[in-house]
Amino acid sequence: MALPFGLAMRVWIDQDLCTGDGICVDHCPDVFVQLEDGIAYVAEGGMPLNDPGGSGSLAVVARRHVDSVIHAAEACPGECIFIEVERSGVEAIDTRIDSAAA
């Protein structure tokens, strides 16, 4: 699935639901990591984000990883991977360019 231009994907894991199977890590090791506690976490820039329930646990998903993250969420037995898609700042720039041309 290609992410439409102007949209950004972020992902987080509810550690309370994680079963520790590591399937997410198998699907996309650049976005998911499994720590010593056996629970999966999202990672950004190679660093695990560990702020359960907080905005600090939302990882931005690079466009090249979108499909893998979606597949990981679909395959997760604990159904603990949550994906958010939102408008990115690119759309605001496009609007300003269009307004300036008018």
Q: Domain containing 18 — which CATH number?
A: 3.30.70.20
DSSP 59: E
* Domains: count for the chain: 1
pLDDT at residue number 30: 95
Q: For residue 12, is it within any domain?
A: yes
**How many residues in total does the chain contain?**
102
Does residue 46 lie within any of the structural domains? yes
The model's pTM: 0.78
- The side-by-side arrangement of strands in the sheet containing 7-13 is 59-61, 7-13, 81-87
pLDDT in tens, 17-36: 999 999 999 999 999 999 99
The parent domain of residue 67 ranges over 7-101
Per-residue model confidence (pLDDT) at position 92: 34
Q: Judge whether 2 lies within some domain.
A: no
pLDDT tens by residue, 47-96: 898 766 556 688 999 999 999 999 999 999 999 999 999 886 544 333 33
Q: CB-side exposure of 41: number of CA atoms within 13 Å?
A: 19
